[in-house]
Structures are given as C-alpha cells and as structure tokens.
Chain A
Amino acid sequence: MKTFLRIILSLGLFIFAFQVSAQKITLSGHIKDAGNGEMLLGVNVYEKNTTNGVVSNAYGFYSLSLSPGKHNIVVSFIGYTALDTVINLVSNTTFNFDLNEAASQLKEVEVKAKRASDNIASTQMSVTSISSKTLKQIPVAFGEVDVLKSLSLLPGVKTSDEGSSAMSVRGGARDQNLILLDEATVYNASHLGNMLSVFNNDAIQNVEFYKGNLPAQYGGRLSSLIDIRMKDGNKKKFTGTGGIGTLSSRLTLEGPLVKDKGSFIISGRRAYVDLLTKALHAINDTIPNVPYYFYDLNMKANYSLNPKNKIYVSGYFGKDVYEFESQKKNFSNDLKWGNYTGTLRWNFIPSAKVFTNLTLLVSNYNYNFGNEFIFGKEKKKSKFTWNADLIDYSSKYDVGWYVNDKNLLRVGLISTYHKFNPGKVEGYSDTIRYNFKNPKNNALEHAFYLSNEQKLSPKLTMQYGIRYALFQNIGKASVYKLNSDYETIDTAIYAKNKIYNTFHSLEPRIGLTYLISGNSSLKVGYSRTSQFVHVASNSSTGSIIDLWIGSGPNIKPQYADLFSAGYFRNLFDNKIEASVELYYKNMENQIEFREFATPQFNPRMDGDFRKGRGRSYGVEFLLKKSEGRFTGWFSYTLSKSERKINGIQEKDWFLSSTDRRHDLTVVNMFNLSKRISLSANFTLKSGRPFTSPSLRYQYEGTILPYYTGRNNDQMPLYHRLDLAITIKGKDKPGKWLHNELVLSVFDVYNRSNPISIYFMSDDDNEFVTHAYRQSFLGLTPSITWNFNF
C-alpha cells in the first residue's frame, strides 16, 4: 500500500510539468573557460532582475526559455568575471559564452549582476561544490592536496581517525558514500592505508558533494554522493603542471587534439616512501626500510564531432605496492591493491531543449597478496596467494529536457553488472595443498528515474522525482541456507545466468524551496535511498583488504529515509552565505559482523553477518565566504548517530564509532599579496566513542577483559590547527615556467590527537596494566614545489 501511494503521489506531480505556458523560444549553448576552453558546470545563466534562470549542467550545457525580444542575460560563476549581455531573440538561438577568470582576488571582484539567489533559490539542499583551486588552498597532512580530507571539513562529515579518508556523512557508514570519478564508481578511494585519497587534484576540475537529498538520477548508496569530474584538457594550447612533494611527485600534461574541437589530459603521480625510507635506512638503520609505494594515472580525451555531438573517453588506474624480501631471501611477500575505472560518453543534443548523454562504464577494485617461504634442508616450498576483486560494467542513459521556463525534466536508466569475487585463497606447504574461497556473487542492478524541477510560483520551487531500483542475483552461485542460529544447514546451487533472487526499491525524492525574500529561503526535503552492495568489514576506519559484497538471500539491502529542513540567508550584499540545516535519518538493514568474526579467509561469511537499525539526527550551521581576498567557512554540527544490531552482545542502542556530538571547523584562506597567500584550518570536536573494560579475569592462563557495553567510553576532545603558506615565483613577461612553493604545517601545536586508547600489560608483570593513547603524526611540516608551463 505504501509503495502504491508513492507511485500515485509521484506520477501526479509530473502532470504539472506539462502545463502549457505562453509561446517561448529557447536560448541554449555551452559555457566555457575562455582561457583553456574547459566546459564550466554549475554556471548561472539568467535574465537580469527576474527569477528566470538555469544552471549549466555537468557538460557546460544550458537551455533557457524566454519570450521573443530583447533580454538582458547574465552569466555568472564564482572566480570568473560575470558577463552581462543583451540578446535580441527572434527564434531559437544557440549562444556559447566564454568566461574569463577573475584577474585578481586581491580586490573584491565586482560581480555586479551576481544573482542573490544562487544558493538561496536552488532547490537542492545539502550540496557543496568545490573547485580544484579551492582544494589546493586547504592545508592537509604531508602537503598532499586531498579532496576527501577537504570534504571532511564540511558540516555533517566525520572521519573516524586522524588522517583517515574514510568518511561518515550524517551518521552513515563509510561504505554508504557513492564516490564517482567521471561517473564511474571508485570502490576504494584511498592510498597508504586510508591516509590519502586516490584523486590527483591536478586532474580534477570540480567536486560536487551531496550529503543527503540525492537527486533521483543518483542512487545505490544511503548517505552521500561525491561526484568528481576530471578536467577535459586545455583546448587552446599545450600546457603542463606538476609538483614535487614530501610524499609524492606528479606531472600533468594537457593540450588540444584539434584546436577548439578536442583536447586531452594525462596526469600521473608516484609516491616514494620506498625510496625515501631506503635512503634514510642507509644513513640510520633504526629507521625502517618500508618497501611501499603507490602510483596512479588519470587520462581523458574529448572531441566535438559537431555542435550537437561530443565524445569523451576517460580512465583512472592506480595501485599500491608493498614488496618485501627477508634478508636470507627465504621469505618474500608481495602485496598489491588498487582500482581502475573507464568511462566512455556521448553527448547528443537533439534540440535546443534536450540534452542527452550515453555512458559506458567499468569499475574495478582488486587486491592480490602472496608470499613464498623456502624451508628445510631440501628447500621445500610453501606458497600462499590471496586474490579478491570486484568489477562493474555499466551503461547509462540520461536525458535532460528543459520543457519550458518552469520545468526541467530529467529521465534516465542505468544498468550494472556486478561481479563480486570476495576472495580466493590457494596455497601449498610442501605436498599439502589447500584452497578455499568466499562464494562468488554476480548481480544485475538496474534503476530508472524520472524527476522534475518545477517553479510553482516566483517564490515556490519544487524538485521531485522517483527512482525505481531493481537488484537481481544471478548464477552461477552457491548460496548457504542458514538456520536461526546462523548455522549453515544446506547449500543451494544455481545454474549459470539463472536469476535466483530479486529485490525492488521505490525511492521518492522531493525538495521544496520557498523564497522568503531576495536573500533568504526555507527548504525542506525528503529522500529514500537503497543500497545493494556493501563493505564486508568490521573495521570502522577502512582497510586495504575490504571486501565488497552484493545483497542476496542472506544479506538484505540497506534502506534509508532522510528528512531535512533548512533556513538559508545571504548576508552583507551576498558576500556571506549562512545556513542552518536540520536532519533526521533512519536506516534499516544495517549490517555488521558478529563479534570476532574475520571477513578474510572466511568461506562462510554469510553466517557471520548481523543486521539492525541505525538512526542519526543533528543540526548543521554554516557561514561561508567564497569571494574576495579573504575566503573560507565556519561550521558547527550538533549531532548523534546510533546503531541497534540484532544478534550481537550489545542488546540496546549504542553510539556509532564515528559519532562526535559537537564538531566545529574554521577554514580560512587569505590572499596577502599577488604572490603570497595564507590558509589555516582549525577543528574542535568531541572525542569519538570507544569501548573500555571494567573488569579482568583469568581463563586458562590468559587475562581477559570484561566490557559493560559497546562504545561505553569517549576519547578526549579533539582539536587541531593546520597552516599553509603559498609563495608564487615572480612572473615576468615571456617567462614560460611559473612556479610556487607551498609550506604547510599539520597539527601546528602538536596536539597529537589520539586515534585509539588501549590497555597493555607491563612487560615484567602481566597483571599490571596501563592505559596508552596511540596518536598519529603530530606536528608535521611539509614542503611542495608546484610548477606549470
């Protein structure tokens, strides 16, 4: 009945989209950066002194319905000089705009025509857009620009540990964030055991971050969307950028394939922990030699076949490598893990009102571990290999129809074939062979969506949509049947290509914006999301050996309902954006492992899952200044996140591991002069919960702890200050190489916030136990030299 009502409600709303309006003609086209020809997304195109306007889509396309006659059109985008043009429209017109980057941020950039309602009027709530330029200015550990770490400075976003890229958004789990790179899912977005994200900032054009209220075109994760778009490449001339940092170096080359028609970009990065520690170990042998490095490569090319057809191809390939050999060379270890993604897109504009995009995608995460041990007089061999991977093949078709000046309709379809291989272990020790594997799990995931962004009146705008998702497990597969005690009682075998299990999900999404005045608005939203793929891990921080698995007979899909409301107001002539957002999120079928289960090497993993509920609620305050010499934001979040899982020791609701009741962040960037800029961020938040013991007892010679409950204790208050200064080299006319030096200091006053508190026995007396705090990094200065030509 609830599903039926959802359908009726959703379809009823769309009828309004087709109400006939007065005769209009269409102004459409693309918006580009005048300097390098890159398409600009999120640009405002509107008729001056009216509420009639649109925002350019992810490919820089816009379409605006207007009456015939003269119109004062304004095109504005942060960091660019606004255009203010009078256009006389007599018929449907294609008009491409080229925006010039604002020459200097030393003076307040005059964006005279900047529409006050950019953030006020938008129907989308809980979304933040960050450009690669902003990311570059935020100080981070090791001086490595990191998109995920920068997002963690936004309200509603928590990380479990110091230095970790694993995020919890509005109380969600770390696997509930959909991370897309040019629309391809990135399953494990971290290098260096979660310390650095895999995204090379030099290859990124823009990041859109939705921490809730996902538009209907996105789904498959409960909590958030991180939509990262790679640069297209410079269409005007051949250029390069690069840098040499404390941990890694990078180089990016880009240029036109055919001037103004097509371009390419290729960007590579390599870390040199191995080379660095080897050199330091040679000087001082107490410094460990760590044979570890990572590398990644981003590539993209695009070509305009004609004004209506454009092709993009892009890809990412990254790997972490650890290769160890014992001094006696009788033991070796080989660990490799990484992602690759591929995207092929075809933009087709059949009319001035319709934009279509066909996308083919591939995403993979894999790890391959192995070791070899030679033993005995006869040099017998013991060998072990462990391989796991996940690969997705997807096709996607999206249509944006600018129906009239009041409606923007979006419709689309996506199909994905998931191949999960959660792990296969093979090995032998002399003559004894062994092998076991977690059952493979293949699945099809489809989704259809329909949404509309509708101006109901000059003050009231609504975005509503429906997403229907379907998930099907397909053979060949072996599925364990479990009893109520999670014991395997039988195994069902399914033939190849047989669909043996299906889940459906109908997901309404709705957002309403009411303009109170020219500079303030009220917004409310509701969204339902579902998730069919999950990380099978009992670590809250993420791990290189995370297993991704699909839903199935023993693992139900996760669902979430998010209710949110917000008040948005611009202050001081739109120089400062202020907002307060409230949310409540209910999550069903949250999965956890039973206590002490190990996901790895566990062929009976299904029997170790337990499921339950999650709930989180909070209020988020944000003050943001995006223009001028002084930019940045201040945010404060008051929130609570809890879980209740059936079949684990803790029978009651408990705080989730990423819960931090109070969270305050200040991010400041200041252009001191043309050549020098300063940036600082300060974070102050409640310590996260952890589990501490109350009693100890002895069993068969082992001292064991007794806990009164999960997450029954709280770490000390967390606070940290990071600083960075960027000094640009002197620019002279004719100089081809431009460079800058970035000096950054992570944890300036060496707070060394604890990542864990643990208890350890005295070396001399195991009955004497002390508490220890484990911290990470502390005061860490770093230096990076960046260049471009």
Chain B
Amino acid sequence: MKTYISIIIFTVLMISCSKDSKIDWDLKPHADLLVVESLLTSDTANHFIHLTLSNPYYDSKDPRAVSEATVFVTEGSKVYSFVESSETKGLYYSTEKFSGKPGKTYDLTIKLKYALNGKDEFKSSAKMPEGLKIDSIKCEIYEMPDLEDQKDQKEKDTTILAVYYFGDEPKVATNYYLARTYRNSQPLQSNSKEFLTYESHEDKNYTHLATFGKNVSGDDLITFKLYTIDRSYYRYLEAISNMDQTGMATSLSGSPANAVGNVPNALGYFVVAFVSKATASAEDLR
C-alpha cells in the first residue's frame, strides 16, 4: 500500500520539477534526554533495557550510554532486577530468565546515578496483551516488479517474500501486530522503520499473509516472529514508519511530530509484547 502511495508522490514530484540544495541551517538547541529501548516478551529469557542519551540533531557521534543506573521491573509483588552488561555500556539484562504473562502489568523503574534535567527517576508501565499463537507458516518467493521509483535505491529489492501464517487471533475488537523475519537466523529488517506493523479489526480468520520486499532465495530458512502489541506501541511504530529516512514526516502523514513513547520525560519505549514464531523453508516461485 505504501509503495502505491509512493508512486503517487513520485508522480507529483516528477511533474513538479523540484530541485534540492544543501544549506546551513541553525536549529534551536535543547537539553539531552534519556532514551529507553526495551523488550519484555512472553518468551522465557533474560530481557533487556537499553539506556542511552539523545544528541544534538547535527551531532554525528554515536549515542552515549547511560551507565550505573538502577533498573528493575515489578509485576505484582515480584521484582526482576536488571544489571548492566560488562560488554556493552548502558545495556541492562534481567538477572533471571522469566516470561511475561498475557494480561499482567509490568512496571519499569530507572534510577540514574546523576540527575538529567533535574530528574533522576523514570517510571513506566505496560500490560502484555493476549496474543496470536502461530501454528505454522508457509513461505513463497516472487519476483519484484520493475518499479521506476526504485531506480535510485542503492540496493534494489529483487524479490517479494510472502509469508502465510496460520493461527487464531485473540477475540478482542482490535489486535495490533509487529512482524519480523529472519533469513537463516539473520534479521531481514535492520531497523524499526522496516518492521511490518498492522492492525486487525473484525476479520478473525485463521489464514494470514505478510509480505516483505526483500532479497531471499529458495535455499533460505525463514523464521517469522509475530509480536502482539498494545495500541500505544503500535502507534509508536506507526509514527516511525511514517517518517522518512531522517525521521521527518512524509508528505502524506502531516506535520512533523515526535514518536511518543510510554516513559514520561524520556524518549523511547518500554515494550511488553506477546511473541510467537515459526520457521520454514522458502519456496521459490519466480
């Protein structure tokens, strides 16, 4: 669908004879903010919380890690502590393996060693939704049509990966999903802009289809991971996917705006999601 909209935009741009030139443009400064990345799923695992700082917009340095913070997650009376990885500064893992439970609410607390903009404690809360459990998948490969708008892309996607997945959806009014695929255990989506997200309303079918414009071949083993997420995180990812490569809003998504997370006074998101996965060989139908 987005490809289709891109074609329309492309058409208008081609007709409009626009031209672009590099300029010096001063931006309004702002104090650094804490950035939270996390993923707590229904898998039994050592879940992670990643803490970094924002940079001035033109700053080309890597994000700075936030070390020596106290991080823990509570669910009812249970407390899961997180400790900083000795290998990666700012990355905190739960000290024990545990699995999130659908319907349960998880509370995150982050206490910084040094206050940031006058704040040294950040809190967030998220509830794990009921999720779709995948029974099996079927993967097919087709040839990508030769679209004019891909001419300028550095690496052209030459195939379409169609993943049919089978499973019953939770019986709620609207389900929100995030799909990620792996080729021979390597992620096919390199960043959150490439994640496939969608919402499902009344259609509670057993058969579902997700398509990805990616280069895959018949020998590849495809793993498909489906996260059932809440509406708020879906909106967060929707915001990211509707920004262009530099995070600006695209012409069809209105005025530029922030992707609003669920950690007050900080950026990023405390994600709690139900996950289900399946693996199958891809069938080349080109």
The chain A residues found within 8 Å of chain B, CB to CB, are 163, 192-193, 195, 273, 288, 290, 292, 322, 324, 326-328, 330-331, 333, 335, 369, 371, 373, 375-378, 380, 384, 386, 429, 432, 487-489, 538-540, 543-545, 592-593, 595-598, 600-601, 603-604, 648-649, 657, 691-708, 710-713, 752, 755, 757-761, 763, 765, 767-778
Q: Let me know if A700 and B58 touch, CB within 8 A.
A: no
Nearest residue, chain B, Cβ from A760: B246
Q: Let me know if B22 and A704 touch, CB within 8 A.
A: no
B32 interface contact, C-beta 8 A = yes
Known: A767-B60, A767-B61. A777 touches B17 (CB 8 A): yes
- Quick one: CB contact mask for B207-236 with A, threshold 8 Å, 1 for yes? 101010000000000000000000100010
* Subset of 10 A-B contacts with CB under 8 Å: A163-B16, A328-B145, A600-B5, A693-B27, A695-B56, A697-B53, A697-B54, A699-B269, A702-B191, A710-B257
Residues of A contacting B249 with CB < 8 Å? Answer: 595-596
Cα–Cα distance between A706 and B16 once the two chains are bound (Å): 30
| 4 closest residue pairs by CB, A with B | A538-B254, A701-B191, A771-B25, A700-B192
Q: Let me know if A290 and B254 touch, CB within 8 A.
A: no
Q: Let me know if B55 and A697 touch, CB within 8 A.
A: yes
A759 in complex: contacting residue of B17, B143, B146, B248, CB < 8 Å: B248
Q: How many residues of B contact A (CB 8 A)?
A: 87
Nearest residue, chain B, Cβ from A545: B8
Cα–Cα distance between A755 and B246 once the two chains are bound (Å): 18
Residues of A contacting B1 with CB < 8 Å? Answer: 601
Residues of B contacting A322 with CB < 8 Å? Answer: 11
Q: Let me know if A596 and B145 touch, CB within 8 A.
A: no
- Other than A697-B52, A760-B246, give 7 A-B pairs with Cβ distance below 8 A: A324-B7, A331-B147, A378-B285, A595-B239, A603-B201, A694-B56, A776-B19
Residues of A contacting B244 with CB < 8 Å? Answer: 758
B86 interface contact, C-beta 8 A = no
- Quick one: CB contact mask for B236-279 with A, threshold 8 Å, 1 for yes? 00111011111111011111111110000001110000000000
Residues of A contacting B142 with CB < 8 Å? Answer: 375-376, 380
Q: Let me know if A771 and B8 touch, CB within 8 A.
A: no
Q: Let me know if B20 and A774 touch, CB within 8 A.
A: yes
Closest CB in chain B relative to A188 CB, distance in Å:
14
A706 in complex: contacting residue of B11, B19, B52, B258, CB < 8 Å: B258
Cα–Cα distance between A264 and B5 once the two chains are bound (Å): 42
- Quick one: CB contact mask for B41-79 with A, threshold 8 Å, 1 for yes? 000000000001111111111110000000000000000
**Which residues of B, 87-126, contact A by the 8 Å Cβ criterion?**
none
A703 in complex: contacting residue of B5, B58, B247, CB < 8 Å: B247
Known: A698-B52, A767-B62. A704 touches B240 (CB 8 A): yes
Known: A597-B254, A693-B27, A708-B28. A702 touches B240 (CB 8 A): yes
The chain B residues found within 8 Å of chain A, CB to CB, are 1, 4-5, 7-8, 11-12, 14-25, 27-30, 32-33, 35, 37, 52-63, 142-143, 145-148, 154, 160, 162, 173-174, 190-193, 195, 201, 207, 209, 211, 231, 235, 238-240, 242-249, 251-260, 267-269, 285-286
Cα–Cα distance between A366 and B5 once the two chains are bound (Å): 17
B145 in complex: contacting residue of A373, A701, A773, CB < 8 Å: A373
Q: Let me know if A596 and B33 touch, CB within 8 A.
A: no
Q: Let me know if A595 and B247 touch, CB within 8 A.
A: no
Q: Let me know if A759 and B4 touch, CB within 8 A.
A: no
Known: A193-B12, A596-B239, A649-B260. A703 touches B17 (CB 8 A): no
Nearest residue, chain B, Cβ from A425: B1
Cα–Cα distance between A630 and B215 once the two chains are bound (Å): 66
Cα–Cα distance between A771 and B55 once the two chains are bound (Å): 16
Cα–Cα distance between A710 and B193 once the two chains are bound (Å): 23
Residues of B contacting A760 with CB < 8 Å? Answer: 245-246
Cα–Cα distance between A208 and B92 once the two chains are bound (Å): 68
Residues of B contacting A330 with CB < 8 Å? Answer: 143, 145-146
Q: Let me know if B257 and A596 touch, CB within 8 A.
A: yes
Q: Let me know if A324 and B252 touch, CB within 8 A.
A: no
Q: Let me know if A192 and B15 touch, CB within 8 A.
A: yes
Nearest residue, chain A, Cβ from B159: A375
Q: Let me know if B235 and A596 touch, CB within 8 A.
A: yes
B28 in complex: contacting residue of A380, A692, A701, A774, CB < 8 Å: A692
Residues of B contacting A540 with CB < 8 Å? Answer: 255
Q: Let me know if B246 and A649 touch, CB within 8 A.
A: no
Residues of B contacting A600 with CB < 8 Å? Answer: 5, 252
Cα–Cα distance between A273 and B16 once the two chains are bound (Å): 11
Q: Let me know if A702 and B192 touch, CB within 8 A.
A: yes
Residues of A contacting B146 with CB < 8 Å? Answer: 326-328, 330-331
Cα–Cα distance between A97 and B54 once the two chains are bound (Å): 76
Q: Let me know if A539 and B246 touch, CB within 8 A.
A: no
Known: A193-B16, A595-B239, A596-B238. A695 touches B30 (CB 8 A): yes
Cα–Cα distance between A614 and B239 once the two chains are bound (Å): 25
Known: A700-B191, A758-B246, A773-B20. A324 touches B148 (CB 8 A): yes
Residues of B contacting A432 with CB < 8 Å? Answer: 207, 209
Residues of B contacting A648 with CB < 8 Å? Answer: 257
Q: Let me know if B54 and A706 touch, CB within 8 A.
A: yes
Q: Let me know if B160 and A693 touch, CB within 8 A.
A: no
Cα–Cα distance between A776 and B21 once the two chains are bound (Å): 11
Nearest residue, chain B, Cβ from A595: B257
Residues of B contacting A694 with CB < 8 Å? Answer: 27-30, 56-57
Closest CB in chain B relative to A510 CB, distance in Å:
36
B254 in complex: contacting residue of A292, A327, A380, A596, CB < 8 Å: A596
Cα–Cα distance between A601 and B61 once the two chains are bound (Å): 39
Nearest residue, chain A, Cβ from B142: A375
A705 in complex: contacting residue of B14, B246, B251, CB < 8 Å: B246
Residues of B contacting A778 with CB < 8 Å? Answer: 19
Nearest residue, chain B, Cβ from A540: B255
A369 in complex: contacting residue of B4, B16, B242, B268, CB < 8 Å: B4
B285 in complex: contacting residue of A376, A692, A706, CB < 8 Å: A376
Q: Let me know if B268 and A697 touch, CB within 8 A.
A: yes
Known: A377-B286, A704-B247, A705-B248. A539 touches B254 (CB 8 A): yes
Cα–Cα distance between A331 and B142 once the two chains are bound (Å): 13
Cα–Cα distance between A774 and B25 once the two chains are bound (Å): 13
A691 in complex: contacting residue of B29, B143, B147, B256, CB < 8 Å: B256
